[in-house]
């Protein structure tokens, strides 16, 4: 079954209508209930991605289960690059300068890149619902900034899933399965 972007975009459009009522435990009082509904997904995935980079030994950064797919380092770099692309799109600003992480292979630089890209996106996830419902141009389409934030978290989940398989194939337990998460 092929998944498409449309369900995620429909979800992003529907979130404001079905968001939980505001409570004092969230920033919903500042008009942020819809964005706040996406933040836990991004926080989980961003944390797991950083932990993956920390935990995978240097010797596995070139690992590919098949020559036709990205290596571990390439997936990690791709996600770091994509954070800047998605989150600048959500913010409606030009993508900031950063190395092309997908072309890098050393663990220390990839860890710095993943940490910095997650931190950059954390800023995007702080927008209010009013800001999130503003249109932005992304991949040649007009969509809400919230849709781009949802797409970013979805993209993280897609590639974290790739990394989970790579880790399991090499006898490693992925961060999301280590307990306490």
What is the model's pLDDT at position 179? Answer: 79
Question: Are the C-beta atoms of residues 125 and 35 closer than 8 Å to each other?
Answer: yes
**CA 6/CA 24 separation, integer angstroms:** 32
List pLDDT tens digits, range 143-166: 999 999 999 999 999 999 999 999
Mean pLDDT estimate for the chain: 87
pLDDT band at 18 (very low <50, low <70, confident <90, very high): very low
Better-predicted residue by pLDDT, 177 or 24: 177
- For 28, the enclosing helix (H) or strand (E) is none
At 53 the pLDDT is 98
**Residue 141's beta-bridge partner residues?**
138
pLDDT confidence tier of residue 107, bands split at 50, 70 and 90: very high
> How far is 104 from 107, CA to CA, in rounded Å?
9
At the topology level, CATH places domain 30-174 in 1.20.120
The pLDDT assigned to 46 comes to 97
For Cα atoms 90, 14, 46, give the angle at the middle one, nearest 5 degrees.
45
Q: What angle do CA 81, 85, 88 make, to 5 degrees?
A: 130
- Judge whether residue 3 has pLDDT over 80: no
pLDDT-derived band at 180 (thresholds 50, 70, 90) equals: low
Residue among 103, 97, 90, 85 nearest 134 (CA): 90
Q: Using one digit for the tens of pLDDT, what is the confidence trace for 38-94?
A: 999 999 999 999 999 999 999 999 999 999 999 999 999 999 999 999 999 999 999
| Domain limits, the chain | 30-174
Can you give the pTM of this predicted structure?
0.82
The β-bridge partners of 136 are 143
Residue 32: the pLDDT is 82
């Amino acid at each position: 079954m092929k998944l498409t972007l449309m369900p995620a975009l429909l979800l992003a459009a529907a979130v404001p209508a079905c968001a939980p009522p505001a409570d004092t435990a969230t920033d919903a009082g500042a008009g942020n209930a819809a964005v706040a509904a996406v933040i836990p997904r991004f926080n989980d995935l961003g944390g797991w991605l950083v932990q993956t980079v920390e935990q995978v030994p240097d010797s596995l950064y070139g690992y590919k289960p098949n020559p036709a797919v990205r290596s571990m380092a390439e997936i990690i770099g791709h996600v770091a690059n994509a954070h800047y692309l998605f989150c600048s799109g959500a913010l409606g600003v030009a993508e900031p300068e950063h190395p092309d992480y997908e072309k890098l292979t050393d663990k220390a630089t990839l860890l710095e890149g993943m940490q910095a890209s997650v931190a950059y996106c954390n800023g995007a996830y702080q927008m209010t619902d009013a800001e999130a419902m503003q249109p932005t141009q992304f991949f040649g389409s007009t969509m809400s900034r919230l849709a781009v934030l949802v797409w970013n978290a979805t993209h993280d989940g897609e590639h974290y899933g790739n990394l989970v398989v790579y880790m399991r194939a090499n006898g490693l337990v992925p961060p999301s399965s280590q307990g306490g998460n």
